[in-house]
Structure 1
Amino acid sequence: MHHNKLLAKLGRADRQNLLRCGEIVQLEAGAVLHKAGLPSANAYFPIAGAFALVGGLAEGPQAGLALVGRESMLGIHLVLGDRIAPVESPRLPRRPVGLSQTVAA
């Protein structure tokens, strides 16, 4: 199985702690993990596939803002202390696998 590059950069103790507390999840194609403006509790570290960050005006079309793949994580707003997702994050249609980690309040 592939590895998340961000997790690989962590020190061994920190990485082991995240891996011990997290779980590998299989996601449906197109699954929306974070909805813009709504609270979220899980951060995701993709190990295969990618997530799109999608945003737009409340009364207009949405546009792709960024991609999150194995080099990063989905849910950086949680690490920064904000539970409200700033953008929507659907998963792109490819083999969906990631490490899900619940972020404590």
Structure 2
Amino acid sequence: MHPSMVLFIVIYGLDWVATVPPTVALCREAFGERGTIVFGWVFAAHQIGAAVAALGAGVVRDKLRLLHLRVVGGCRALRDRCGALGADRDPGLRGGAGDPARCRAPLAAGTS
């Protein structure tokens, strides 16, 4: 086996172990016994979203022959999702999720 493949396997395995068990634990904590079912739906939605993003990037590249639109579109989608998730969480802070004051607020308050 090629050394770069071994390195990829190790890094991917560590990534899996670092993210999946904590996500399962959070789902079980939030949803009780049905948490594993919720995790299954979260995992499926993640896979479907990744497939749609990959398909969209491929269509943009093939139809328009523009590579940079994939990056710009992905960044805008990420920005919009982050803003939608955090914009109304704390009305006392100015701005949305991208606001630097918002990012520092929990640390300034002494919580983590």
Report if TM-score (shorter chain) is over 0.5: no
Higher strand share: 1
**Relative contact order: is structure 1 or structure 2 higher (C-alpha 8 Å, sep ≥ 6)?**
1
More helix by share: 2
Report the TM range for the smaller structure's normalisation: under 0.3
Q: TM-score, normalised by structure 1?
A: 0.24
Larger radius of gyration: 2
